[in-house]
A = this chain, B = another copy of it.
């Protein structure tokens, strides 16, 4: 498991799904992982606030959907 959460192997599979013949520099995989984790944290923080706003202590699917709209 990657130290920052999302494994580089998962990142590589996602890029290969966009273009099977492309090569990806290790630093590009790291950068995409960091960008995704920034986006994930931003969505997660918003979703936590939306759950609290709705009087819940559990994040639900609807919180993620609303948070991801921004």
Contacts and interface: CB of A to CB of B under 8 A. Distances in A.
A32 B35 CA distance: 15
Interface residues of A, number: 45
Given A31-B64, A63-B28, A44 B15 contact: yes
Copies of this chain in its oligomeric complex: 2
Task: Please classify the interface of chain A as helix (H, G, I), strand (E, B), loop, or mixed, using the class held by over half of its residues.
Answer: helix
A40 interface: yes
Interface of A: 1-2, 5-7, 9-11, 13-15, 17-19, 21-25, 27-28, 30-32, 35-37, 39-41, 43-45, 47-48, 51, 57-61, 63-65, 68
7 contacts: A5-B11, A14-B44, A19-B45, A23-B59, A31-B61, A32-B47, A35-B43
